[in-house]
Amino acid sequence: MQNQTLRAGRKIASIALALSLVTSSAFADYQLYYQNKTTQSISNGVQYETLLRLTDGGWVNVNVLRVDLKNSTHKIKPIYPGSLSAKASLSEISKSYQNLIGSVNADFFDPATSSTLGPIIDEGALITTPNGDTRFAALNITDYGVPFIDYWNGYEISLSNGTNSVSLDYINKPYLNYDRIILFDSKWAATSFGKTANVPILEMYVENGIVRGFQENGNPYPLNGNAFVVAAVGSKIEELRKSFRVGDSVEVDYSDALKSVDFTIGGGSVMVKDGKPVSTYTLNIAGQNPRTAAGITKDKSQLILLTVDGRTNNLRGLNQPELSQLLIELGAYDAINLDGGGSTTMVVRPVGSTALEVVNTPSDGSQRRVHNGIGIISTAPGGTLEDIILDVDQNGVFINTPLELSLKGIDANRSPVEIDPAQIVWTVSGVNGSFTEAGFIPTTTGKATLMANYNGMSATKVIEVYGEAVDLIVKPATLQLKMGESGAFRLYAIDASGHQAELPTQFATWSIPDQLITLNTDGTFTANSSAGKGVLSVEYNGLKKHLPIAVGEFHRVLFDFEQPSATFLGYPQEVSGSFVPLKFSLNGSMGGRLIFDFTKTEATRAAYVMLPETGVTIPETPDKLGLWVFGNYGYEHMLKAKLVDADGKAMNIQFAPSINWEGWKFVEAAYPTDLKPPVKVERIYVAEDNPARKDRGVIVMDHLVAIEKNTLDMDLPKDVDKLPKLESQKMNTDGGTTLLVYGGFQAGSKLNGTEGSTTDTTYLNYVNAATQLNRSSKTYFAGPVDTMLANLMGTEVIASGYSEFISDQVAVVTLNFKNNAIIKADASQWQAFLARTNAMLAGSGEKSLMIVTNSTLNFSDKLEEALFYEKLEQLYNKGIRTTIFSGGGAVKDPDLRLTRYATVVDVQSLTASSTFDLKTEGKAIAVNLKDGNITYQIRPLQLKK
């Protein structure tokens, strides 16, 4: 008898297969600008791939696990916490499974009932049944290793004593309503429901296959590996009571159809069938979202697990047709959509490591707790040492600073093998240096070959040792902190050639004003409990940087939820609910209770709290908005607010991507910078765009506040560096092409420099400015230029947007940034810029690159930043040098600095907030191009007074 592990067959009344029709939308509809693909074998028969793409629609980041199903050294297994009713992050779940190689999150779940929606079969044992919604398909693998994707449209399970039998509606699904009989075992929880079910319930206790007792609304029964409970509600109570007696021998029976199934996990709609995208999704989750999916190759020999990141500033996600096309591109002949959004997570064990890493970017900012996942488990026995791998934390290091080293051992299956550090023999050639517990410390410069010898095996790594640092880079460059807030500094040095390497923070001297923060040796810090501000200084080898630091913030209450003036509004009309003041709040007075019902529709749903008098006015311009929320029954829906500015422009902000906490929590949303005051908070709302999330919930809100950080309005001392000075630079005057570069020149600026006066925008002043800026064949503005000035210019004016100009073996390009990102200004700039740099790398003849940009190169999009500097490094390695003329900053005096593989000249810009007098203090940069060389110097404008 196999009732304890529920391995009997299951009667499948019908199996529905989606028809295969071509969809009209395709991932290929987007223009591809850039792609980077990596492939790594992380175990015998398991490949880990990354696919990063830049398109005209934004970045697409894909992580892929390819599993050879014919390989016997691993198995596919559903993974879940200790009980099906529990939730945990995917990494926490994965750590509980020994020898796990990789995993992705899997099934959709109902947060209101703490249960998955689909079935689970684990090594032939039926763990839980589906919830009965036929829109949800499942991924399956037979016990002879053949995968398939299908819908479970009907099933029959029965419990019998040989004479009488009853149908079981579910196994381990907590739907104790209507007229149902449900089996719960130890996979569900440690105890049964009993009187905690809050409905009349009869429970039959079965241990070792024998009925041991009955109880109605009694204390919950204990559940263990030898016991289960059959619970009846509604009219099924009497049916269960009449069918069995104490002492009966009972067993679960279901058909032989699934006895050959070894693995099943629930999912959403079929995405690909017979090599083609489906025309209709049984579960339609629209929009560009993070995605998790699984595919099967045509020969059924390979399982493809993938995640696609989204809902972040730079990662756009995919819609379902795009996901279908991507799956086909990756080789899927059949595929299924798994739970995505904030649940999307992939965990991988790196080669040679015993630790697990989250390799994608969860959209919530951290992992969402989930109910289950798909795990790849190594079944290979532990092997002997086969190879060693040497890793370094960076490929370059400054002289006399340590480079951290890591030597890992692997067996033939690429599983980790422990290495005795005392037995490693380290050697270096090319430079001098020593090996210590901190790593390798070089004492001379040059190219170094590091070698580790261990047990007759060797591994090498080539690095570069840099000489004198000429400048420091500290990240973050400013600190505005809440009391108790933590973070970490990263310290970098840069040499005269633009090589950059990270320094251990303890190698520098940190001077912290009034002990505003506590700094640890590893660079982490915590703001102390006193508000204040000042200038933090960092010193290293004669270099010095100054950072403004402010601790503390100020909250102004906008709405306290004490009055009954706010109202409820549901969208669409099927959404019902209410909003009322409630004597339950953070401070003991009144809070606002929002009740919502999302069960009547699968469309995007929202439950609005409409604030009184068409909204609450926000005074001035805060840094953030904040709200206290009691989230026990928010069921992981989104929490947002709608703002409306003076011109009627509306913008939605997000307080939380998922209401996934218990008790009170203070949540914050960044305040948009492009709204015209006065701005009102029109509504606060709970929203859901996942059709599978159908529930009734309630949250309580208290104290909507405007948050203003302690300001950074302080004068910084001059930094100390060893850079060449811009004032000493001389421009070539013997032939070539001469250009002129200035920053932004905007209407509304103080041309006369008189404090407090209105702008002197007389025609004469524009004529004077144009005369000075006309002294070259082309004038480049690193920022917006006033139309009147541009009309007066006799030479060609290059302002915002991408442009190219090639002269004297120099390529000159302009790049426009918006909110410190190229892609936000115009994504097509990347297509042109990459084409230009690739042509230069291919030998188009230019010896130098000149870039004019309206940004200080403080990228908000880190993927763009990495790609930008990747191209500059490639040019540098080909002997092509880059000079960047940067606008966008509040620069009065042009200055020179270095960034990775480029010289940067920060040019003067004239804005409405400029405090200098353009007539007497105006400075442009004259640039000469000749024979591939770029020379430049400051040119005073000398406008007429």
> Where in the sequence of the chain do the CATH 2.60.120.260 domains occur?
556-709
Residue 917 has pLDDT above 90, yes or no: no
Residue 202's nearest CA partner among 175, 234, 161, 171 is 234
Residue 348 has pLDDT above 90, yes or no: yes
The superfamily in CATH containing domain 387-466 is: Immunoglobulins (2.60.40.10)
Q: Tell me the C-alpha distance between 201 and 484, whole Å.
A: 49
| Domain 726-940 sits in CATH 3.60.21 | yes
Residue 884 has pLDDT above 90, yes or no: yes
- What's the order of all strands across the beta sheet hosting 210-216? 170-171, 180-185, 227-233, 201-207, 210-216
Q: What is the pLDDT of residue 760?
A: 46
Q: What is the pLDDT of residue 421?
A: 95
Q: What is the pLDDT of residue 788?
A: 81
High-pLDDT (> 70) share of the chain, % = 94
Compute the C-alpha angle 503/508/510, nearest 5°.
130
Q: What is the mean pLDDT of residues 429-446?
A: 96
Q: Which residue has the higher pLDDT, 772 or 738?
A: 738
Q: What is the mean pLDDT of residues 50-64?
A: 95
Q: What is the pLDDT of residue 785?
A: 87
Contact 155, 143 (CB under 8 A): no
Give the tens place of pLDDT for each residue, 29-44.
Answer: 788 999 999 999 999 9
Q: What is the mean pLDDT of residues 399-403?
A: 96
**How many alpha carbons lie under 13 Å from residue 368 in its C-beta half-sphere?**
31
Contact 617, 709 (CB under 8 A): no
Count Cβ atoms below 10 Å from residue 728 Cβ, excluding itself. Answer: 9
Q: For residue 1, what pLDDT band results from cuts at 50, 70 and 90?
A: very low
φ and ψ at residue 92, rounded to 5 degrees: -65, -45
Q: Range with the lowest mean pLDDT among 253-267, 537-551, 662-676?
A: 253-267
Task: Give the distance from CA 691 to its chain's centroid.
Answer: 23
Q: Cis before residue 678, ω within 30 degrees of 0?
A: yes
Query: In three state form, how does the secondary structure of 715-744 look?
Result: CCCCCECCCCCHHHCCCCCCCCEEEEEEEE
Q: What is the mean pLDDT of residues 729-753?
A: 80
- What's the order of all strands across the beta sheet hosting 58-68? 32-43, 46-55, 58-68, 302-308, 291-296, 334-338, 270-273, 276-277
The superfamily in CATH containing domain 556-709 is: Galactose-binding domain-like (2.60.120.260)
Q: For residue 620, what pLDDT band results from cuts at 50, 70 and 90?
A: confident
Q: Range with the lowest mean pLDDT among 13-22, 199-208, 214-223?
A: 13-22
> What does the block give as tokens for 407?
């030597």
Q: What is the pLDDT of residue 585?
A: 86
Q: What is the CA radius of gyration of the chain?
A: 33
Neighbouring-strand partners of residue 440: 403, 435
Q: Which residue pairs, CB below 8 angstroms and at least 24 apart, start in 871-879?
A: 871/833, 871/834, 871/837, 872/900, 872/901, 872/902, 873/900, 873/901, 874/837, 874/841, 875/837, 875/840, 875/841, 875/849, 875/901, 876/497, 876/498, 876/901, 878/840, 878/841, 879/847
Residue 557 has pLDDT above 50, yes or no: yes
Q: What is the mean pLDDT of residues 129-140?
A: 94
Residue type (1 letter), 482: K
φ and ψ at residue 748, rounded to 5 degrees: 95, 0
Q: What is the mean pLDDT of the chain?
A: 91
Q: What is the mean pLDDT of residues 750-778?
A: 63
Q: What is the mean pLDDT of residues 638-666?
A: 95
Give the tens place of pLDDT for each residue, 792-829.
Answer: 888 888 887 899 999 999 999 999 998 889 988 999 99
The model's pTM = 0.91
Q: For residue 13, what pLDDT band results from cuts at 50, 70 and 90?
A: very low
Give the tens place of pLDDT for each residue, 222-231.
Answer: 999 899 999 9
Q: What is the mean pLDDT of residues 885-906?
A: 91
Residue 313 has pLDDT above 90, yes or no: no
Contact 778, 740 (CB under 8 A): yes
Q: What is the pLDDT of residue 8?
A: 39
CA distances from 437 to 163, 253, 269 (A): 74, 62, 53
Q: What is the mean pLDDT of residues 419-430?
A: 96
Q: Which CATH number fits domain 469-551: 3.40.720, 2.60.40, 1.25.40, 3.30.530?
A: 2.60.40
Residue 295's nearest CA partner among 266, 262, 271 is 271
Contact 43, 286 (CB under 8 A): no
Neighbouring-strand partners of residue 936: 927
Q: Tell me the C-alpha distance between 787 and 852, whole Å.
A: 19
Q: Range with the lowest mean pLDDT among 166-170, 258-262, 374-378, 876-880?
A: 258-262
Residue 759 has pLDDT above 70, yes or no: no
Residue type (1 letter), 251: E
DSSP characters for 208-254?
Answer: TTEEEEEEES-SPPB--TTEEEEEEETTHHHHHHHH--TT-B-EEE-
Residue 21 has pLDDT above 70, yes or no: no
Q: Tell me the C-alpha distance between 846 and 851, whole Å.
A: 14
**How many alpha carbons lie under 13 Å from residue 775 in its C-beta half-sphere?**
17
Q: What is the mean pLDDT of residues 530-549?
A: 96
Strands 387-392 and 405-410: antiparallel
Q: What is the pLDDT of residue 320?
A: 95
Residue type (1 letter), 926: A
Q: What is the pLDDT of residue 762?
A: 60
Residue 482 has pLDDT above 70, yes or no: yes
Residue 297's nearest CA partner among 575, 64, 642 is 64
Task: Give the distance from CA 636 to its chain's centroid.
Answer: 18
Give the tens place of pLDDT for each residue, 96-117.
Answer: 999 999 999 999 998 888 899 9
Q: For residue 918, what pLDDT band results from cuts at 50, 70 and 90?
A: confident
Q: Tell me the C-alpha distance between 813 and 850, whole Å.
A: 6
Q: Which residue has the higher pLDDT, 643 or 819?
A: 643
Q: Which residue has the higher pLDDT, 381 or 304?
A: 304
Count Cβ atoms below 10 Å from residue 533 Cβ, excluding itself. Answer: 20
Count Cβ atoms below 10 Å from residue 582 Cβ, excluding itself. Answer: 17
> Where in the sequence of the chain do the CATH 3.60.21 domains occur?
726-940
Give the tens place of pLDDT for each residue, 60-76.
Answer: 999 999 999 999 999 99
Q: What is the pLDDT of residue 27?
A: 54
Q: Which residue has the higher pLDDT, 877 or 914?
A: 877
CA distances from 411 to 49, 97, 352, 389 (A): 21, 20, 9, 11
Return the sign of the alpha-carbon dihedral for residues 781, 786, 789, 790: positive
Q: Range with the lowest mean pLDDT among 144-158, 687-701, 756-770, 856-870?
A: 756-770
Q: What is the pLDDT of residue 14?
A: 27
Q: What is the mean pLDDT of residues 9-35?
A: 47
Strands 261-266 and 120-122: antiparallel
Q: What is the mean pLDDT of residues 594-610?
A: 96
Q: For residue 125, what pLDDT band results from cuts at 50, 70 and 90?
A: very high
> Where in the sequence of the chain do the CATH 2.60.40.10 domains occur?
387-466
Q: What is the pLDDT of residue 784?
A: 87
Q: For residue 754, what pLDDT band results from cuts at 50, 70 and 90?
A: very low
Q: Tell me the C-alpha distance between 185 and 163, whole Å.
A: 23
Residue 653's nearest CA partner among 630, 682, 688, 619 is 682
Contact 685, 609 (CB under 8 A): yes
